[in-house]
Amino acid sequence: MKLAKAVISAVAESSDASADAPEYLDKRIEAFEKDMFPRMEKVQRLTDELMHDFMFTAGSPRTTIARSIARHVKFETPWVLHPLASAMVHSFFFMRRMLAS
């Protein structure tokens, strides 16, 4: 949505000023990207960590499911609750494993 607004404003400005449209478009897209990258850093980190959990860990997904779910829970909770959320997820999977055997 923000990218669409940047493109529309670039087209509107370039038609008003009768100047070079690609130059206005480049400036608007560059501003959008500078705003986007800090917002996406958290998602990129989660994606990278999950990729390593599932693709580069022996015994995956059985050995990494608790860690992966804890990562998802941490992603959705405030940082203050991260230790509690992680402990709850790992405790659940520990108890599940103990009761299943």
**Two tokens at 7?**
């493109």
Give yes or no for a contact between 61 and 50, defined as CB atoms under 8 angstroms apart: no
Q: What confidence score (pLDDT) does residue 19 get?
A: 60
Give yes or no for a contact between 66 and 90, defined as CB atoms under 8 angstroms apart: yes
Q: Would you list the domain boundaries of the chain?
A: 57-101
pTM of model > 0.85 = no
Average confidence (pLDDT) over 48-54: 94
Share of the chain above pLDDT 70, in %: 94
pLDDT digits (tens, 9 = 90+) for 1-18: 888 888 887 777 766 655
